[in-house]
Structure 1
Amino acid sequence: MGTLWGGRFQEAASDLMQEFNESFSIDKRLWQEDITASIAHVTMLGDCAIITKEESQLLQTELHELYHAIEANPELLSGNYEDIHSFVEAKMIEACGDTGKKMHTARSRNDQVTVDMKLYVKKSLNELKEFVLQMIQAFEEKGKAVDALMPAYTHLQRAQIVPFSYVLDAYAAMFERDVKKIEDSVALLDENPLGAGALAGTTYSIDRQQTTDLLGFASVQRNTLDSVSNRDFIIDALQCFSSLMMHMSRFAEDFIIYSSQEFQFVELSDHFSTGSSMMPQKKNPDALELIRGKAAKVISLLNAMYGTMKGLPLSYNKDMQEDKAIYFEGLDTTVACVKILTGVTTELKVNEKRLQETIHEGYLNATELADYLVRKGIPFREAHEIVGQMVLYAIEKGSQLHELSFEELTSFSSVIEEDIYHELHPETILQQGIKKDMLNK
C-alpha cells in the first residue's frame, strides 16, 4: 500500500492493519479538493522560493493534467493507496520524479485533509442551499395553485381555520431558517487551515494569505493547533442537515396523516407512492415515510460526530478520519430527501372538496365566537366560559355552533345579534384582524 510515512519503522504494517487504516475507498471523493489545494500549495511554494519556479510550474501542470484525467475517467481513482493524499502524491512522483517528492514540503496531511474537507463542505453546503431554495419554490407554487381553507390543529385536535397555502407557508418558513443556518455555517468555516502543518506550523516562510486567496477563503485560520483539530464545521453542517431533516420529517408526518382514508385531504402522485405485495388496494406514502425514517439516521450522525470529538485532546487524532464517512452519509441522505420532497410537493393532489367540508366541522369558529362576544363588551375570560358552555351544548345536540338557532345562541348571552352567523362564516373570519394576512401567502 502506498503511504506517506515509513522511515521510522522497521517492519511494514500488517495487511489487517493496512485494511483497517485505509480511507481511500471513502475519501477519494475529495479528489477535486485535494488537487485544487495542492495546486495552490505548490504555487505558493514556488512564489516563496521554497521550490524553484520550474518545479512549481511542473507540479501545477501535472496536477491540472491529473484533474482533467480523473474528470474524464473517474475509474482512475483506484489502487492500493492509504488515502486520497497518498494517491495524488504518488501520481505526481510518477509524473515528475524527484520533483513530485517536493510537493509535500511545508505541509502535513493534518492541514491537508482539513483544507480538503473545508472546501468540500463549503461547496456541498452551497449546493444543498440551492436544492432547498428549489423546494421552497415548489411549496410556494403549490400554495398559489390551491384555493382552499382547512382546519389547523393543536394536539392533533381541530383548532382554527387557515388557508391550505398557509400550512405550506409554515414549512417554507422553517426551510428559510434552514437556508440561513446553511449560510451561517459557510461563513463560520471560511478560514484557511493550510499552512498549519502537522500542528505547529513550519520553519519555512510560507505565505498563508496567498493560499487563502487562491482557494477562495475569507481569511487565514490563526491558531495552528485549532486549525488541524477543528471539526466544528462538520458538526455545524450536520446540524444544518439535522434541522432540515427534522422539518421535512414534520411535514412528512402531517401529510402522511392528511393522505389517510380518515382524512383524505391530499393524495401523493403515483410517482412517489408504492403498493403492497399482498393487499391490492394499497397506495402507501412511502416517500414521506422514508423521509421520516431517514431523519432519525441523520440526527444520529450528528450525535456520532459529537461523540467522536467530545473526548479528543489537542490536536489531530486519527478518530477524526471517521468524519468523512459521517459527513458524506449525512449529506447524501439530506440531499436525496430534499429532492424527493420537492417532487412530492410539486405533484401533490389536494382534495379541495374534502377540505371545504371539514371547515364546517369541529367547532373551528369557537375562538372567533369568543372574540365576537369580547367586541360586544364581555371580558375575554367570561366569553371563553360562555362559548365553552355553548360548545358542550352543541356537542350534546349533535350540532355545530353556526347551526344553532338564534334563540339557542342568545340563551347563552343577550349581547348576541343577528350578525352572528355572518361573523362565524369562514370567509368572514379570515377577513378579520391580522388573519387576512394569511390569505396573501
Structure 2
Amino acid sequence: MQQQTWSQRFELALNPAIARFNASISFDIELIEYDLTGSVAHAKMLAHTGIISTTEAEQLVAGLEQIRQEYQQGQFTPGIEAEDVHFAVERRLTEIVGDVGKKLHTARSRNDQVGTDTRLYLRDQITQIRTQLREFQSVLLNLAEQHIETLIPGYTHLQRAQPLSLAHHLLAYFQMAQRDWERLGDVYKRVNISPLGSGALAGTTFPIDRHYTAQLLNFDGVYANSLDGVSDRDFAIEFLSAASLIMVHLSRLSEEVILWASEEFSFIKLKDSCATGSSIMPQKKNPDVPELVRGKTGRVYGHLQALLVLMKGLPLAYNKDLQEDKEALFDGVKTVKACLEAMTILLDQGLEFRTNRLAEAVAEDFSNATDVADYLAARGVPFREAYNLVGKVVKTCVAAGKLLKDLSLEEWKELHPAFEEDIYQAIAPQQVVAARNSYGGTGFEQVSRAIQAARSQISAAS
C-alpha cells in the first residue's frame, strides 16, 4: 500500500493499482515549466499582499527556479509516487527550502493551479502553431509565384470542369490557412484568462490579488466566477475545434497530392526525401507524408469528440474527469504541429510539378465548353440557348472522337453563324484561364494581385 502525503484524513494507504490508476504524472509532467512559472507568480503575489514575507517569497522563487534547472538538465524525474506534477514540484521544493516550501500552496488549490498551467501551456502552443501556419503559407506563396501561368485542370465532382492557374489552386489553401491563423488568434483571447485565485471552487479567505498574478503571467484578465474558473474547459474544446479545421485543410491538400502523384494523374513527381518504397515492389514510390497526415486527421477529430463527451454531463465544479482533458489536448497539439511541419517540408522540398503533363492535361478535355457558351452570350445569344447548343456540340465531338479545338471554322459556323476565327483563341487553355479576370478569379492578372495581397497580409500581421 502506498502512503499518501496529501491528507491525514485517511487512515489507510492507497491501493497500489488505484494509485497507478489515479496518477497523472506520466503525462502532466508536460506542464512542469508552466507549473513552475505559475507558482513563481503565486509566491510573489503572496508576498505582495503580505500573506507571506518577502524573504519567504524569495526562498520559494529561488527553489522553484532550481527545480526548473534540475528538470532541464534531466536531474528531476518524479515517478508515480508523486501522483501529479503539482505534488512533485511541491515535494521537491520542500526538500530544497525546508518548511517554507509548504507555504506555497497557501490560497491555492490544485483545481485553479492546473487550470492556470493548462492555459499557460496552450497559449504558448497556439503561438507556435500560428508561426508554423505562417511558414506553411509562405511556402504556398513561393510555389504560387513559380506557377502563375502553369495550368492545371480544375474539378467539380472529381470531373474535369475548367482549367485553372496552378497558383490559384495553391492560393485556395493559403486562404484556408489564413482562416486557421485568425481562428487560433480568436481562441487565444479566451485561453488567456486567469483562473488562479479561484481556489477549489469558492475563492479564498486570504486577501489575495488575482489581478496581480494575472499581470505577472501576462493574462489579459481573470475569471469573474470561481466556479467557472476551475471547471471551464471551453477553451480547450475551442482549440481542438480549430485544430480539427487545420487538419481538415491539410487532409484535403494531402488527398490532392496523393491523387496528383498517381500514375493516373501524374501531375507531380515525389522526391526521394519525402517518399518511401515498398518492401516487395521495387518500382513503388509511396506518398507516405500526405497519407499519414490524412490518417492523423481522424486522431485530432477524436480528441475533440472526447472532450465534448467529457464535459457534457459534469456538474459544477471540478471533477476528476477533467484529468482526462490533458492527454487529448497534448496529443492534439503535437499531432497538428507534426503534420504542419511535414506538409510544409513536402511542399517546399518533396515534390515537383510536371508542367508538361499539366499542359497536356488541360488540352485533352472539354473544360473549355463554358467558354464557347460565353463566346456566344457575348454576341447576343441568350446564355441558356448557348449552353444547350454547346452541349450538343460536345455530344457530337465525343461521338466523332474530336475535341472542340479540332472543329473547322465551317463546322463552327454550321452550328451558329456568330462563330468567327477568333473562337480558336477564345477556347485555347491559356486564354480560357486569362479571361477569368473577375476579382478572386483564376485570371493571371488577378492571381498576381492575390499573391501580392497575401504577401502584404502576412507582413502586416506578423
Q: Which residue of 1 aligns with 2:130?
A: 129
Change (3 A) 1:130 1:159: same
| Shift of residue 74, structure 1, vs aligned partner | 5.7
Partners of 1:3 and 1:86 within 8 A in 2? no
Distance of 1:186 and 1:368 partners within structure 2: 46
Q: Which residue of 2 aligns with 1:338?
A: 340
Q: Which residue of 1 aligns with 2:44?
A: 43
Alignment TM-score, normalising by the size of structure 2: 0.93
Change (3 A) 1:194 1:179: same
Match of 2:358 among 355, 360, 366: 355
The count of corresponding residues between Structure 1 and Structure 2 is 441
Partners of 1:122 and 1:186 within 8 A in 2? yes
Change (3 A) 1:278 1:165: same
| Shift of residue 258, structure 1, vs aligned partner | 0.7
Q: Which residue of 2 aligns with 1:54?
A: 55
Distance of 2:44 and 2:4 partners within structure 1: 24
Deviations 1:230-261, CA, capped at 9 Å, x for gaps: 11111111112110111100001111001100
Q: Does 1:171 align with 2:173?
A: yes
Match of 1:297 among 296, 299, 302: 299
Q: Does 1:14 align with 2:15?
A: yes
Distance of 2:275 and 2:3 partners within structure 1: 47
Partners of 2:154 and 2:160 within 8 A in 1? yes
| Shift of residue 3, structure 1, vs aligned partner | 5.0
Q: Which residue of 2 aligns with 1:5?
A: 6
Distance of 2:223 and 2:318 partners within structure 1: 15
Superposed CA RMSD in Å reads 1.3
Partners of 1:2 and 1:90 within 8 A in 2? no
| Shift of residue 55, structure 1, vs aligned partner | 1.0
Q: Does 1:90 align with 2:99?
A: no
Change (3 A) 1:4 1:174: farther
Distance of 1:340 and 1:389 partners within structure 2: 47
Q: Which residue of 2 aligns with 1:372?
A: 375
| Shift of residue 2, structure 1, vs aligned partner | 7.7
Distance of 1:439 and 1:374 partners within structure 2: 28
Q: Which residue of 2 aligns with 1:68?
A: 69
Q: Which residue of 2 aligns with 1:263?
A: 265
| Shift of residue 415, structure 1, vs aligned partner | 1.3
Distance of 1:184 and 1:267 partners within structure 2: 38
Distance of 1:212 and 1:179 partners within structure 2: 25
Distance of 1:112 and 1:332 partners within structure 2: 23
| Shift of residue 79, structure 1, vs aligned partner | 5.9
Distance of 1:116 and 1:406 partners within structure 2: 74
Secondary structure of the 2:81 match is: coil
Distance of 2:332 and 2:48 partners within structure 1: 39
| Shift of residue 4, structure 1, vs aligned partner | 5.5
Alignment TM-score, normalising by the size of structure 1: 0.97
Q: Which runs of 5+ in 1 are unaligned?
A: none
Partners of 1:26 and 1:325 within 8 A in 2? yes
| Shift of residue 135, structure 1, vs aligned partner | 0.9
Secondary structure of the 1:311 match is: coil
Match of 2:406 among 399, 403, 408: 403
Secondary structure of the 1:252 match is: helix
Partners of 1:37 and 1:115 within 8 A in 2? yes
| Shift of residue 5, structure 1, vs aligned partner | 2.1
Q: Which residue of 2 aligns with 1:314?
A: 316
Q: Does 1:225 align with 2:234?
A: no
Change (3 A) 1:4 1:182: farther
Which one is further off, 411-420 or 239-248? 411-420
Task: Letter of the 2:120 partner, please give it.
Answer: L
Distance of 1:350 and 1:217 partners within structure 2: 46
Distance of 1:179 and 1:107 partners within structure 2: 35
Distance of 1:295 and 1:109 partners within structure 2: 33
